[in-house]
Homo-oligomer: A and B are copies of this chain.
Amino acid sequence: MSGELPALLAVTFRAVMDHVHTRLAAEGFGDVRPAHGFVFQYLSFHPEATAVELGEHLGVTKQAAVQLVDELARRGYVERRPHPTDRRSRVVALTARGWACVERVTALWRETERRWAELIGEDRLGALREDLTALAADAAGGRPVPLRPLW
């Protein structure tokens, strides 16, 4: 059958993330919503981001971004500190708990990949990764793909 690949991508991703969320919940990280994942993702690569930056990356208003940050701060995943030079601004950083959660997600993803390697073999998995990288790059057409709300 042809034309079903996009759906297959979605279904696979969905199944993985359902599993990850179940595991996270069992390990005490049950209070993270899908949208939070994108905050974590961004903060782990931009450790001193501001709320406005975060909003731009997530494609939401600054007000919504601040609300997300407040919620995560209340739950102990992030911390707001005064900006070193700009007194209007405050930087958002992951706390130890925030980092721990990020670590768990990446560990679970690696675990998933190991499982997949067993299923289809290292070679096929390598080809899969390589091909998907090419397809994603082509589909994105040079634009950055924001990795936004999906899970």
Could you tell me which A residues sit within 8 Å of B by CB distance?
Answer: 2-20, 106-107, 109-110, 112-113, 115-116, 119-120, 124-125, 127-129, 131-136, 138-141, 145-148, 150-151
CA distance A12 to B128 in the complex (A): 12
Within the complex, what minimum Cβ distance (angstroms) separates A4 from chain B? 7
What B residues does A15 contact at CB under 8 A? 136, 139-141, 145
Residues from chain B with Cβ under 8 Å of A148 in the complex: 14
User: Contacts of A5 on B, CB cut-off 8 Å?
Assistant: 109, 112-113, 116, 125, 128-129, 132
- Chain B residues within 8 Å of A112, by CB: 5-6, 139
A-B contact pairs, 13 of them (CB 8 A): A5-B125, A6-B112, A9-B9, A9-B132, A10-B147, A13-B13, A13-B150, A14-B147, A119-B135, A119-B138, A120-B134, A124-B127, A124-B131
Q: How far is the CA of A17 from the CA of B6 in the complex (A)?
A: 8
- Is the pair B147, A7 in contact by a Cβ cutoff of 8 Å? yes
Instruction: Using A2-B113, A5-B116, A120-B131 as known contacts, list a sample of 16 further A-B pairs with CB atoms less than 8 Å apart, ordered by residue number in A.
Output: A5-B113, A5-B129, A5-B132, A6-B17, A8-B129, A8-B133, A9-B9, A9-B16, A9-B132, A10-B13, A13-B13, A15-B136, A116-B138, A119-B134, A120-B135, A128-B131
